[in-house]
Structure 1
């Protein structure tokens, strides 16, 4: 079985694959200082709780947007699973896609993985929206080439900036407003309208502009933690695929084996 580690700026998600099927997944806060031993204490117990043994792991792949975290995950793989992990974007796990931008090496690991998985799972031109610490919009053409995109502050970052730089605005939960009105009658409602419906308007506007620039019909694939929440309040998404980045890791690992 394949153990995939998706290292984001906020969380590390481990997923256990049997072929392309995810059998289990676990999440831990990203901390580049966390040692391989600390990962092992946590992860080996979770494997046992789910009914798996460390011997069930035959391959391990790491995709990381936090370069400092790769070393300790490599220690985890070598010391506790007896293997050298694949590193997404390197060696046998090279992207294998065209990256048609000014600085191809600057493409984030998560965005490359999303490109690979989206092209494998959905046909035609695509716009991939990933709700992470930052929200990214990526254009993937019908050949699977990465054509560029947009980086925006994530919803949590936007809210943190709003609350952290004002004296009286309170911390609010990120949720859908109770009504569709965009005229709030109290401070909390006005903040939520600004954050939530403002974000929806931004998404719809940017996607419309991207579609116009692409010049061909383009499906929109949404992934990341807030994709499901926003999908309930806009019809802009054609597909919501919360496992897109993990699936990209599984596809890379499969290619490396072949």
Structure 2
């Protein structure tokens, strides 16, 4: 089995692959207060609950956008599994079937998204990741990453709004019945949910216009299912796209 780990700003996601197939996902809140021993205890409990043994794992690959946590999770895994952790970086992207213009300026999670999309479509694609940040990664049919667009994610925008205004609360990320908000809750819901729908639609349209060709649109990320009125814009919704991309990386990148 192969263990893939994606350390994000909101969650740390662990994915397990067996015989080239995704098997299981485990996610915990990202916390910079925990130590390696804490994470080791959490992982041990998860493995016990799912009848997994450390000896079953043959490879571990780790992507992180939280530098302080990277060595902690790496130490946890190397101690628990007795395996050297593979870390994707600009130095080993050359092993991937992708062309990356600025390898030191793109997150490994976005490279993983691009790789999984290219493996799935072999076509020009837009990968939209609904995470802490809302990202649009564009790649062509040859596997060249053309560029990335980044906006605050839905929850990030919500926290910024409620955290910086004394009288605005955090509210459920749900569509209101009316576009015009009639109270504080529906006003925020309309601004965020309908506003972000427009943002995503317009970004897709502008990217397609600039590419001047047909392309696939793939959505991923924990919040990819919330904006259900956008699903007609997507050719595919895959919440595990980043994990799959890291799995493919583990096959290309040398130890």
TM-score (norm 1): 0.92
Residue 114 of structure 1: SS of its match in structure 2? Answer: helix
* 2:193 counterpart of 1:176: no
Structure 1 match to 2:251: 254
Partner of 1:104: 103
Distance 1:36 1:19, change over 3 A: farther
1:44-69 per-position Cα deviation (integer Å, ceiling 9, x unaligned): 12112111111111111101111222
Label 1:254 to 1:157 Cα distance change in 2 as closer, same or farther (>3 A): same
Listed as ranges, the matches of 1:158-237 within 5 Å are 158-177=157-176, 179=177, 181-237=178-234
C-alpha distance 91-107 of structure 1, shift in aligned 2 (>3 A)? closer
Aligned to 2:125: 126
Could you tell me which residue of structure 2 aligns to residue 136 of structure 1? 135
Q: CA RMSD in A?
A: 1.9
Q: 1:234 to 1:256 in 2, by over 3 A?
A: closer
Aligned equivalent of 1:240, options 237, 245, 250: 237
Is contact 2:90-2:103 (8 Å) kept?
A: no
CA distance in 2: counterparts of 1:33 and 1:217, whole angstroms: 46
How far residue 15 of structure 1 moved from its aligned partner, in angstroms, is 1.1
Aligned-pair CA distance for 1:234:
4.6
Structure 2 unmatched runs, 5+: none
Distance in 2 separating the partners of 1:90 and 1:150: 20
Asked whether the equivalents of residues 63 and 109 of structure 2 are also in contact (C-alpha less than 8 Å), the reply is yes
What TM-score do you get using the length of structure 2 for normalisation? 0.93
Which consecutive residues of structure 1, in runs of 5 or more, have no partner in the other structure? Answer: none
Counterparts in 2 of 1:95 and 1:72: CA distance versus 1, 3 Å: farther
Match of 1:12 in 2: 12
Shift of 1:233: 4.6
Trace 1:29-108 onto structure 2 (pairs within 5 A).
Answer: 29-89=29-89, 96=96, 97-100=98-101, 103-108=102-107
Answer yes or no: is the 8 Å Cα contact 2:11–2:27 preserved in 1. Answer: yes
Number of residue pairs the alignment of both structures matches: 254
In 2: Cα distance, 1:139 partner to 1:224 partner: 16
Q: CA deviation at 1:93?
A: 6.6
Structure 1 residues 3-44: Cα deviation after superposition (integer angstroms, max 9, x where no partner): 111111111001111033222221112234533222211111
In structure 2, the residue matched to 1:116 is 115
